[in-house]
Structure 1
Amino acid sequence: MTDSPPASATEPLRDDIRLLGGILGNVVRDQAGEEIFDLVEAARVASFRIRRSEMDRADLASRFAAVETGSLIPVARAFSHFGLLANLAEDLHSERRRAVHLQAGDPPQDSALAATYVKLDAVGLDADSVADALADALVAPVITAHPTETRRRTVFDVQTTVTELMRRRNHTVDPHERDELDRALYRQILTLWQTALIRLSRLRISDEIDNGLRYYDLAFFDVVPTLNAEVRRELRRRWPDAAVLTRPIVRPGTWIGGDRDGNPNVDAEVVTTAADRACATALRHHLTELAALERELSMSARTTVVTVPLQELADLSGDDDPARDDEPYRRAVRGIRGRLTATGSHLLPGVDLPGTVDEPRRPYRTPAQLLADLAVVDASLRAGGAGVIADDRLARLRGAVEVFGFHLAPLDLRQNSDVHERVIAELLSWAGVTDRYAALSEDDKVALLTAELRIRRPLTSPDAQLSEETAKELGILRAAANVVQRIGNAAIEHYIISMCTSVSDLLEVEVLLKEVGLLDLDAGYPRSSVQVIPLFETIEDLRGGASTLTAALAVPEFRSLVDAHDGLQEVMLGYSDSNKDGGYLAANWALYRAELDLVEVSRAAGVRLRLFHGRGGTVGRGGGPSYDAILAQPPGAVQGSLRLTEQGEVIAAKYREPVLARRNLEALVAATLESTLLDVEGLGSDASAAYRIFDELADLARDSYRRLVHDTPGFVEYFTTSTPVAEIGALNIGSRPSSRKPTEAIADLRAIPWVLAWTQSRVMLPGWYGTGSAVTDWVGDDPERLESLRTLYRRWPFFRTVLSNMAQVLAKSDLELAARYSELVEDTDLRERVFGQIVEEHARTVEAYRRITGYDSLVADNPALERSLHNRFPYLEPLNHLQVELLRRFRAGEDTEQVRRGIQLTMNGLATALRNSG
């Protein structure tokens, strides 16, 4: 059991929360008036009384029922802002606690690279095995356009400023300076109060692109090159004879602008815009850094050694200013700036970039050419005894160019397999190949598609009259081909197939890539710089994923494409739809089993496997602490590399500023190294028995989940009525529709609104339902079976992580509040039937957790969550009551702008305060 820190250790957190809450209260009083302030304060006091069982929840609900909507809006805003400020206080406290541990000389904590190096040193690995294991080393957080918040850019900026002000305040003892900082905090929180939290219109994809790009300036440019250099240095110091990390290990990616699965707003123009804005962001950074470097490198040839290559670079710069005759470094960097300016003009005509120079120069064709010139500057500085200068801005710039190049981050393309089949069918019909492609057997489809991959003949022509869908898909792929031709292969490296179930699903995309020139023939076999990646999403698809990959690798044309990528094949695993399909425990086990099977078939086929984890922010969509999640992967599943999606409010929570970004990226790298180089599963020869147990548990959990979600009459009505899922569609949180298809079927609903709706109503059903019944039914009255689960919990990181994440969700759930939402269901019988099942399963699941772990509390192993529950969860109480009241008014016919805005505000506030909500 993890010991909680003493009260003295958490007092600074309470002080910060009191300070920020007090300033917010003053702003509310000054801006909204005494009456609103009194209403907010009364709700706050009532919430704490409810927690102490001194007041009934119905009393607080009745108070809000008597208040007009116009007065409820500022109350919702006040508690929403408090949740956001409390998040900042908690992040600062975590930062402060880590500093305390470091200053005390405590051993490094798990998830810190320092702790990882200690573990690696203890096992005595040889250089060859390390080099082989890390041959494809990659840690790629992939930013996706799946926001579950409505955070405005101004709100984001206020957060950043408040964080920095609080850091300064915590490090000063000067009372006058503290007063100044408090006034500055008041100004920021006043700005927050006067800024509308809710957008008037839905986000456009261009907005999402810009939102994703801001993390590079805020953190990635600063943190990623430094972290990569440190990891490379530490590993090479330990294994100097191994060619470790020939490429940087941390290389972020993005889906924003390329993911069109169910999003009709993505078109050819969007793909081009996403790639061009990413390119501009990279070039802007490089040019700005070069301008600063030119100012800094004032060394005179009269006072230091200058290498011949550096002098030649300076002489070629075109800088003939006599005042700089003896400043070869400045002249050389000026020339580099000139060439990069020309690169920008070539890649992005008409785009203004900072740090450019007017002298006409020939552009760099590739980032490698720019790196070569920067290496000349580096070598000369070191030859002149200025290595410490080379290790500063120049080193960071070289690291940035190595990672971000001219493309910034690879843009993933994604589309549903059903769309590909329709497009291919139309193209084959237009070309006269076959009019009945969709009706062919799988074997016949594969034969036909492989035949197309052996010839260069196109299936269409520019003047072909095609359906709107096919013309759009081809337009997107042609835009992608243009991006690759202009910016380079690194700009678009992956094409993901949603709902991939067969070899033909994979080959259809390869044929489409051939159609636009992204795939060509080499000695009769296809080659492509874009790798096609199957995404296995449902429980059944996960179970069949290994068979699909085996069959694909047996096709010579597909194997040729894998070989062209140095024998590496990536596979994506879907956490969201598998959970929605089969429930929490069944989905987690299906993913684990799928990884085991994929590892086995890839080894048998002699290919290297890279897994791409489609995790959401919430536990119901694969969320939870990333370090623990990676260590919970089965043996061989990481192999030195992984990609994972970063979604929703989790992106801002992890990467909005350098300290947070460093900590979270470091945890990803630490877990990747440990999972690759150490035995972390801990089951040994008992693995098979453990797997059999979980096969049985998963089936029982899935049956329990499906009885509720898929087999209970009226469940969909209960879900849509007792949660704000219908209203989520009106919350302007993203460009993507809430459903893949215009139906009310659970299967067609996107996982984000499914999870977000249950989170808002505090049921949190996707993060636990079915587990309690599975454990209860499997264990029965057999103490040996219970002991076997206890033993697995102690030994097996996978099981420990599953239960820990589930406990986090259960701790955030509140069935008394959920009961208020259930009252929105008018059909009494339906309400009692469905909610009754939820209550019973919740009790079974909590009991199962306690029996297996031995903990009395759901947060016994999570002191950070325990602090959060204690310090700020009472402030969520008013938001839930406000939401229910406003939903009731809205559904009773009070369809006004104020009511709609109020509902959206409560949704925003709850998503922010609960942190991992969607």
Structure 2
Amino acid sequence: MQEFTQTEALDLVGRFEAGQELPEKMRADVRLLGALLGRVLQESGSPGLYEDVERLRTATIHAYTDETAEAFARAARIADGFTIARADEVARAFTCYFHLVNLAEEHQRVRTLREREGRPGSQDATDSIAAAFSRLADEVGHDTALARLQGLRFHPVFTAHPTEARRRAVSSSIRRLSELLDEYDASERAGTAQRRAERRMLEEIDVLWRTAPLRAEKPSPTDEVRAVMAVFDETLYTAVPHVYRRVDDALQEEGRGARPPLVRPFVRVGSWVGGDRDGNPFVTATVTRKAAAIASDHVLRGLERTALRIGRGLTLDAASTPPSRALVSLWQRLRAADEEAAAEIAQRSPDEQHRRILLLLARKIAATRTRDADLAYRDPEHLRDDLRIVQDSLASAGAARQAYGHLQQLLWQVETYGFHLAELEVRQHSAVHAAVLAELDAGTSSERAEEVLEVFRAIAFIQERFGPRAAGRYIVSFTQSADDLAAVHRLARYAVGEDGTPPVLDVIPLFETFADLRAAPGILAEIVDHPDFAARLDATGRRLEVMLGYSDSSKDVGPVAANLALYEAQAEIAAWAQRVGIELTLFHGRGGALGRGGGPANSAILAQPPHSVDGRFKLTEQGEVIFARYADPAIAMRHIDQVGAAILLASSPSNEERNRSAAERYADVAATMDTASRERFFSLVKAPGFAPWFARVTPMEEIGALALGSRPARRGLSVESLADLRAIPWVFAWTQARINLAGWFGLGTALDAVGDEERLRAGYREWPLLRTLIDNVAMSLAKADERIARHYLDLGDRDDLADLVMAEMRLTREWTIRVTGGDELLATKPVLQRAVKMRSPYVDALSLLQLRALRALRDADAKAPRDAEHERLLLLSVSGVAAGLQNTG
């Protein structure tokens, strides 16, 4: 079969790009960035690289639009025909392209948000906190709605799960390109500034091309801590108070910025980075101490800079803005503690009392960071109190805008982040606790036991140094009994000895497997009567946190049964908490990928059972999701606003009644789907030889070689058993094979077992849980590809398993389209559909290169030397496919 002529290729690519219904500005960005990448490939790639990339690009676009076996074979033949060195370069080129397309898409999102903010009534977006408050007030009254708003809590917890496939150096390069694209937008059309921005973008894309896409070695836990700190420094530190301000402005209307705020800080940020030791031997007590110290250093530097900036601008003369008595008293205390600096500042600002105080407070914050005991704050509450004295003095002197302007945002930052920035959480497996206690009770102590005890000493140290909020939540993985939770308190007492005081601990059960979810209410009912738990409940006003795992339950029984079991567990736990007077917070262990509970958070929140939210929502944010949601300030603020709105509305009478009545009306549908989907899932994963077959038809084993994160991909067993395979490589491997099985398998059979198409369509409209489940499956299937999936499955020698997977994929696709309406997946979600279609043929190119590498590795003689060239090609393609599909594990 002849390849395309240049004219045919240009026509084919042009028609494909024209068929993508992109916003005009985004289309221009994609063309600009693509053209610049083309220039870089011609200038910096080896001879003929650009032409080879274009050959494969044209062929995969043709195969995507033509859908014939001949077209697909042509594309595969081109990918197979490259030398291994050329295949390596081509994979890198397509990966760079995805980074640029993702950047263009993010840039369009930011552009849209900015345009929306510039329009009148921009705060009235239907999914904003301000709009949610208005709707809630209509249902429950203004005062009740305000009380709920002021009790709102959104608690994202950043984790170090290895799902960010790109290097930090690559992320940094992309961030610089984003800034240059902003400059390009702002410059005059075809003017000097625009040409300069284009030249600098070309330079940066050349850097991106020349930067090794794969990490040379796995990052250490401390590296992971510093990577997450970049998100705080560049975005969250300032974005969160801006969200508070935006909401408060909407509620205050004409009095905005000149009245005490109605909004109370509702974001609390948690972190497992440096604290999660479940299966990660590299996270030690020393690492946990260091993680807390790094975070504290970052936030104290931020607070110091902010206090200095505000102080320098607070040039209010005492004649126009007389200080209050409390402010004068505060000045006297500060001057006595820091005489030399106070004298110098007073000389520079003789009649500017408020300015003088802020500058001295900045020095006290700096002393807190450097551990200067004579000057340092003991805790963030003392800083907060000092700032409120300044605020009250300004307000009483008539300077309300200075009182409730930038100074209020500093107060919000102190209240949100304290001196610790993120609340560090520790996680450990229940089996480790049991084994260590058995040793200690027998009078022995191994190295592992001593390390476990040292963790409790580290928590005590962190609480003493950075405040009680800095650490104290202790998550017990695979909680299967009340004894698993009581063990934590026993170990804490062992750690400090008979005469010591153990750290203050909130022990959080993590229910992960299908069986554990069902047993959860009974375990909770037993543990709350345990003396240690009862004492802590009394101390916290009967507050209790319970964590639910999405990923292991999905791997355990399949995505459909897992989602239904999670809903039922939440409903039962919430009902139990209501009965016994406990303020419950459910902690959702959601991954970024759809097979691990991913998908839009706001729609998931609104689908929760009655009383399972009650104004509080906590979830894990993992890997690439952290950077997708929080790396850009505008996107981070929009995400927090949307999630906050959903949390507020989830407990509205109308939403709770909708979820309650729908669950009752469709209980028989849920039961049928549960049974049918589990049986179908088990027919696959419990088939003899499934585990080694899975390892052969996907790059599961090779993913372990990627330097993604510090945590091992498996808990120690071989692929002869899936029991100890982590959910991340389980999902990641299916995603790479373009099958995405972890996100959808069993739904087709479940819907077919119900059979009543009209009832299922009604359920999709009326039952939020079903709608969320089906919408997530539609996205998962849209990113899958039957033709490519079949080639991966052909790597194995089990036609029975391959046919089972393909049959279920077709059945699920068919039923998803029938229930959602339209004639193809995502027909009712054009923006998502566009994003998937725009990328698909380019992802296909990388998949073909990955298939080539996998075939070579699978066909190699087991006794032959390691095929390093094909391994590298495989890992390059894994990174590229992850960038193209925009989710990994």
TM-score under structure 1 length normalisation? 0.88
> Matches of residues 172-321 of structure 1 in structure 2 within 5 Å?
172-176=187-191, 177-231=193-247, 248-302=265-319, 304-315=321-332, 316-317=334-335, 318=339, 319-321=342-344
User: Quick one: which amino acid aligns to residue 604 of structure 1?
Assistant: R
Q: Which secondary structure state, in structure 1, belongs to the residue aligned with residue 215 of structure 2? A: coil
Counterpart of 2:234, as a letter, is L
Aligned to 2:365: 340
Q: How far has the Cα of 1:863 moved from its partner? A: 1.6
- 1:519 and 1:797 map into 2 onto residues whose CA distance is 52
Contact 2:663-2:767 within 8 A present in 1 as well = no
Alignment partner, residue 8 of structure 2: none
Q: Which residue of 2 aligns with 1:410?
A: 423
* Structure 2: distance between partners of 1:255 and 1:625: 22
Pair 1:659–1:740, CA change in 2 (3 A): same
For residue 878 of structure 1, what is the aligned residue in structure 2? Answer: 845
- Provide closer, same or farther for how the CA distance between residues 181 and 854 of structure 1 changes in structure 2, counting only shifts above 3 A: same
CA distance in 2, matches of 1:857, 1:369: 59
Which ranges in structure 1 are unaligned for 5 or more consecutive residues?
A: 350-359, 431-464, 780-784
**Residue of 598, 601, 604 corresponding to 2:576:** 601
1:772 and 2:748 matched: yes
Give yes or no for contact 2:734–2:742 (8 Å, CA) kept in 1.
Answer: yes
Aligned partner of 2:681 among 705, 718, 726: 705
- Conserved 8 A contact 1:258-1:412: yes
Please say which of residues 99-108 and 143-152 is displaced more in the overlay. 99-108
**1:658: Cα distance to partner?**
0.7
| 1:331/1:878 CA distance change after superposition, 3 Å | same
Counterpart position of 2:10:
none
- Asked if structure 1 preserves the Cα contact closer than 8 Å seen for 2:149 and 2:263, the reply is no
Rounded to whole Å, the distance in 2 between the matches of 1:122 and 1:402 is 30
8 Å contact from structure 1 (residues 513, 519) kept in 2: no
Q: Which residue of 1 aligns with 2:461?
A: 482
- Going from structure 1 to structure 2, the CA distance change for 1:188 and 1:894 (only over 3 Å counts) comes to farther
Matched, 1:159 2:174: yes
Contact (CA 8 Å) 2:460, 2:502: kept in 1 or not? no
Aligned to 2:75: 60
Question: SS of the residue aligned with 1:613?
Answer: strand
Q: Which residue of 2 aligns with 1:324?
A: 349
Q: 1:588-640, CA deviations, whole angstroms, 9 ceiling, x for partnerless residues?
A: 00100000000111111111110000000011000001111111111111011
| Counterpart selection for 1:88 from 103, 108, 130 | 103
1:137–1:245: 8 Å Cα contact kept in structure 2? no
Asked whether the equivalents of residues 242 and 637 of structure 2 are also in contact (C-alpha less than 8 Å), the reply is no
Give the partner amino acid of 2:305.
T
Show the counterpart of 1:113: 129
Task: Find the counterpart in structure 2 of residue 460 from structure 1.
Answer: none
Q: Does residue 374 of structure 1 match 2:387? A: yes
Output the amino acid matched with 2:62.
R
- Within a 5 Å distance, the mapping from 1:11-30 to structure 2 comes to 11-30=24-43
Residue aligned with 1:775, SS: helix
Secondary structure of the residue aligned to 1:493 is strand
Aligned to 2:550: 575
**Partner amino acid, structure 2, of 1:14:** R
Please state how far the C-alpha of 1:917 moved relative to its aligned partner.
Answer: 2.4
Where does 1:782-861 land on structure 2 (aligned, <5 Å)?
Answer: 785-825=756-796, 827=797, 830=798, 832-861=799-828
Instruction: Indicate whether 1:496 and 2:480 are aligned.
Output: no
Match of 1:508 in 2: 487
Preserved CA contact (<8 Å) 1:259 1:266: yes
Give the Cα separation in 2 of the matches to 1:232 and 1:481. 37
Q: Secondary structure at the match of 2:599?
A: coil
Change (3 A) 1:595 1:232: farther
The match for 1:867 is 834
Paired residues of 1:859 and 1:866 also in contact (CA < 8 A) = yes
1:47 correspondence with 2:60: yes
Deviation at 1:399, TM superposition (A): 1.1
Indicate if the aligned counterparts of 2:607 and 2:659 stay in contact, CA closer than 8 A.
no
Distance 1:386 1:771 in 2: 61
- Please identify, of 336-345 and 529-538, the stretch whose mean Cα deviation from structure 2 is larger: 336-345
Q: Any conservation in 2 of the 1:290–1:333 contact (CA below 8 Å)?
A: yes
In structure 1, distance between residues paired with 2:404 and 2:498: 41
Query: Contact 1:226–1:399 (CA<8 Å) still a contact in 2?
Result: no
Q: Matched residues in 2 for 1:685 and 1:731: separation?
A: 47
| Alignment-derived partner of residue 584 in structure 1 | 559
Contact 1:229 1:399 in 2 (8 A): no
The amino acid that maps onto 1:332 is I
- Is the partner of 1:168 in helix, strand or coil? helix
Work out whether 1:612 is the aligned partner of 2:587.
yes
Q: State whether structure 2 residue 884 is matched by structure 1 residue 917.
A: no
Name the residue aligned to 1:559. Answer: 534
The answer to whether residue 722 in structure 2 is matched with residue 746 in structure 1 is: yes
Q: Distance in 2 between matches of 1:85 and 1:800?
A: 32
Equivalence map 1:610-689=2 (5 Å): 610-681=585-656, 682-683=658-659, 685=661, 687-689=663-665
DSSP 3-state at the match of 1:731 = coil
Instruction: State the distance in 2 between where 1:888 and 1:268 align.
Output: 43
User: 2 CA distance for matches of 1:148 and 1:181?
Assistant: 32
Aligned length: 851
Q: Which residue of 1 aligns with 2:437?
A: 424
Structure-1 separation of matches of 2:872 and 2:543:
49
One-letter identity of the residue aligned with 1:865: L
Q: For residues 533 and 539 of structure 2, what CA distance do their matches in structure 1 show?
A: 10
**What letter matches 1:320 in structure 2?**
A
Deviating more after overlay: 60-69 vs 551-560 = 551-560
Give every structure 1 segment of 4 or more consecutive aligned residues whose post-TM-superposition deviation is greater than 6 Å: 5-9, 235-238, 243-246, 518-521
How far, CA to CA, are the matches of 1:384 and 1:135 in structure 2? 27
* Residues 135, 244 of structure 1: 8 Å contact kept: no
- 3-state SS of the aligned residue for 1:594? helix
Q: Larger deviation: 175-184 or 586-595?
A: 175-184
- Does the 8 A contact of 2:305 with 2:362 survive in 1? no
Q: Which residue of 2 aligns with 1:441?
A: none
Q: 8 Å contact 2:615–2:647 — kept in the other structure?
A: yes
Secondary structure at the aligned position of 1:52 is classed as: helix
Judge conservation of contact 1:570–1:612 (CA < 8 Å) in 2: yes
Q: Is the 8 A contact 2:673 2:750 kept in 1?
A: yes
Q: How does 1:64-83 map to 2 (within 5 A)?
A: 64-83=79-98
Deviations 1:771-800 (A, max 9, x none): 111121232xxxxx3332221111121111
Give, in whole Å, the separation in 2 of the partners of 1:575 and 1:234.
36
Supply the distance in 1 between the matched residues of 2:774 and 2:36 (Cα, whole angstroms). Answer: 39
CA RMSD across the alignment: 2.7
Query: When the two structures are superposed, what TM-score results if normalisation uses the length of structure 2?
Result: 0.91
Contact 1:519 1:529 (C-alpha < 8 Å) held by counterparts: no
Question: 3-state DSSP class of the match of 1:877?
Answer: helix
Q: Tell me how far apart the structure 1 counterparts of residues 119 and 264 of structure 2 sit (CA, whole Å).
A: 36
Higher mean C-alpha deviation, range 666-675 or range 328-337: 328-337
Q: SS at 1:479's partner residue?
A: helix
Q: Check the 8 A contact 1:301/1:327 in 2, yes or no.
A: yes
CA contact under 8 A between 2:489 and 2:532: conserved in structure 1? no
Matched, 1:895 2:866: yes
Distance 2:757 2:537 in 1: 45
Structure 1 residue 424: Cα displacement: 1.5
Partner of 2:507, secondary structure, is: strand
Structure 1 residue 220 displacement after superposition: 0.7
Asked if the contact 1:773/1:844 (under 8 Å) is kept, the reply is yes
DSSP-derived class of the 2:619 partner: strand
Percent identity between matched residues is: 36
